[in-house]
Amino acid sequence: MNIRKIAERAGVSVATISRVLNHPDLVSPETRERVYAVMKENQYTPNWFARNLTQKQTRTIAFIYPSNDSTFLQAVADGVEIVALNKKNLVFLCHTNGTAEMEREYLELMVQRNVDGIILFSSRLPQEKIEQVAGLGIPCVHIGREGADTERKNCYINYIDAAAKLTDHMIQLGYQQIYLLLDSMLVNEADEIKEGFELAASKAPTKLETDVYVADRSMQGGMLFAHRMIQAGKMPRALITSSARQAFGVMKAARLAGIRIPEDLAIASMTDSSVSTLVDPPLTAVDRPGKRLGMVTARMLFDCIENREFATQNAQHVELLAKLAIRKSCGNRKFIYELFE
C-alpha cells in the first residue's frame, strides 16, 4: 500500500495525497475528506524511509549512557524521553556497560542511522572521536563535566557544591573527624567530590581531621572498607560515601561490629536511593535532580537541532545543583527531616 495506490483509489494525483499529509490546508475540504477516508480504509501509513529520504530529519535522538543500574540514570533517561516525545522524537537508548568499545559501537550505529542528535552520558571517548561526529554535523550534548574546557555543550550536576554542602552539614553537627570514601569507578565526579569535600573542610571553624579512601561502589565495597577500618581501629567519627550502596554496606558492617549509628558513626552518602528511608537509621544523602537534568539536556539538544547556528556556537554549560535529603544517619536533631536546599 503506497501513495500511488491511494491516489488511484481516491481519484487524485500523488501530489494531492502528499499535500493532504503535509499541508492539509492547501487542499479543498471535500478532496481532503475523501483522501482521509481512503487512507483509513486501506490502513495507509506513509513510508517512513521514503519520507526521510527527502526530508533529512529522522526525528530520532540517541541517549548513550554507561549503565542502567541506578535510579538516577533512570530518572535522567526519563527526562530525556519526555522532552523527546513532546517533540515527536523517539529515543534510542544505548547502554554501554561503561565500556568505551560499546560506546564507540553505538556511536557509529547512530551516525549510520542519521539520528538528529546525540546525548552522551559520562562519555569515555577521546575528543577526536567526538569531534568526528560533530564534524558530520550531528549535534552532541554531554551530561557530565568531561571536556567542559573544550568547545562542548555540557549539562551536569555540580558535585563540588554538593560535596561541600554535605561536608558542611556534618561540620555543623560538630564532627571534627570526617573521612571520605570515593567510588573506584568514578573518574571526574570523584575529583569533584574530593574538591568539594576539601573546600568545605578548609573553611571549618576548627581544624578537621580528614582522610580519603577508595572502594568499589557496591554494598560489598562498603562492607569491605568498613571491616578493614574497624580491624585497623581507624573508623572515623563521621563518613561520607560516594554511593548509597557503599553506605548500606558500611552500616551493615557497623551493626555487626556493635558500632551505633549515628552515636558512634555518622554517615551520609553522595547518592540517594529509594531505600534510604528504609534503613535504620534513614540515610542522609545528596538528592540529585536526575529527571530535570535529562530534560534540560534534551532541551539543549533540540535547541541545537532546530537552530543549526546555535549548534555550532561556542561551548555552553548548564549546571544543576543538588539538594540535601537530611535524615537521621548523621544525628541531625532539628526537625528539617527532608529536602534542605
Partner DNA sequence: TTGTAAGCGTTATCAT
Partner DNA sequence: ATGATAACGCTTACAA
132 binds a copy of itself (CB under 8 A): yes
Residue type, 39: M
Residues in region 256-285 near a copy of itself by CB under 8 A:
273-275, 277-280
Distances (CA, A) of 268 to 126, 243, 304, 324, 329: 34, 9, 39, 10, 7
- DSSP states of 125-178: S-HHHHHHHHHTT--EEEESSTTTTSS-EEEEE-HHHHHHHHHHHHHHTT--EE
As to burial, measured by CB atoms within 10 angstroms (0-12 exposed, 13-18 middle, 19+ buried), residue 56 is exposed
305 contacts 116 by C-beta, under 8 angstroms: yes
Q: Is residue 316 within the footprint of a copy of itself (CB under 8 A)?
A: no
Using CB under 8 A as the binding rule, whether residue 47 contacts a copy of itself is answered as: yes
Query: Nearer to a copy of itself by C-beta: 93 or 259?
Result: 93
Residues in 85-114 at the binding interface with a copy of itself, rule: CB under 8 A: 90-95, 109, 111-114
What residue spans of 42-158 are helical by DSSP H?
48-55, 71-86, 100-112, 127-135
How many whole angstroms separate alpha carbon 163 and alpha carbon 159?
6
User: Minimum Å distance from CB 57 to DNA?
Assistant: 10
**Which of a copy of itself, DNA, none is residue 310 near (CB under 5 to 8 Å by kind)?**
none
Given the C-alpha cell 567526538, which residue does it identify?
Answer: 130
Q: Which stretch binds a copy of itself (CB under 8 A): 130-138, 290-298, 313-321, 330-338?
A: 130-138
The interaxial angle of helices 100-112 and 127-135, nearest 10 deg, is: 10
Residue 50 C-beta: closest distance to DNA, Å: 3
Determine how β-strand 117-121 pairs with β-strand 60-65: parallel
Find the shortest distance in angstroms from Cβ 109 to DNA.
16
Least Cβ distance, residue 336 to a copy of itself (angstroms) = 21
109 counts as binding DNA under rule CB under 7 A? no
Give the x-and-dash track for 133-162 against a copy of itself (CB under 8 A).
--xx--------------------------
254 binds, among DNA, a copy of itself, none (CB under 5 to 8 A by kind): none
CB 184 within 8 A of CB 215: yes
In DSSP terms, which residues pair with 318 in a beta bridge?
155
Half-sphere exposure for 218 (CA within 13 Å, toward CB): 3
> Closest separation between CB of residue 278 and a copy of itself, Å?
5
Position 237: which residue type? R
- The Cβ of residue 213 has, within 10 Å, a number of other Cβ atoms equal to 15
Binding segment for DNA among 50-58, 76-84, 211-219, 317-325 (CB under 7 A)?
50-58
Which among DNA, a copy of itself, none contacts residue 248 (Cβ within 5 to 8 A by kind)?
a copy of itself
Contact track, DNA, 318-337, x by CB under 7 A: --------------------
The entry of a copy of itself, DNA, none near residue 41 (CB within 5 to 8 angstroms by kind) is none
**Which residue stretch of 46-54, 65-73, 98-106, 171-179 sits at the interface with DNA (rule: CB under 7 A)?**
46-54
Instruction: Tell whether the torsion through CA atoms of 282, 283, 289 and 291 is positive or negative.
Output: negative
**Residue of 33, 37, 43, 55 interacting with DNA (CB under 7 A):** 55
Give the burial class of 205: count Cβ atoms within 10 A of its Cβ; 0-12 exposed, 13-18 middle, 19 or more buried. Answer: exposed
Task: Number of residues interacting with a copy of itself: please give it, by CB under 8 A.
Answer: 43
Contact (Cβ atoms closer than 8 angstroms) between residue 89 and residue 118? no
Answer with the entry of DNA, a copy of itself, none that 314 interacts with (C-beta below 5 to 8 A by kind). Answer: none
Q: Which residues bind a copy of itself (CB under 8 A)?
A: 43, 45-50, 52-53, 58, 68-69, 71, 74, 77-78, 81, 90-95, 109, 111-114, 132, 135-136, 219, 245, 248, 252, 255, 273-275, 277-280
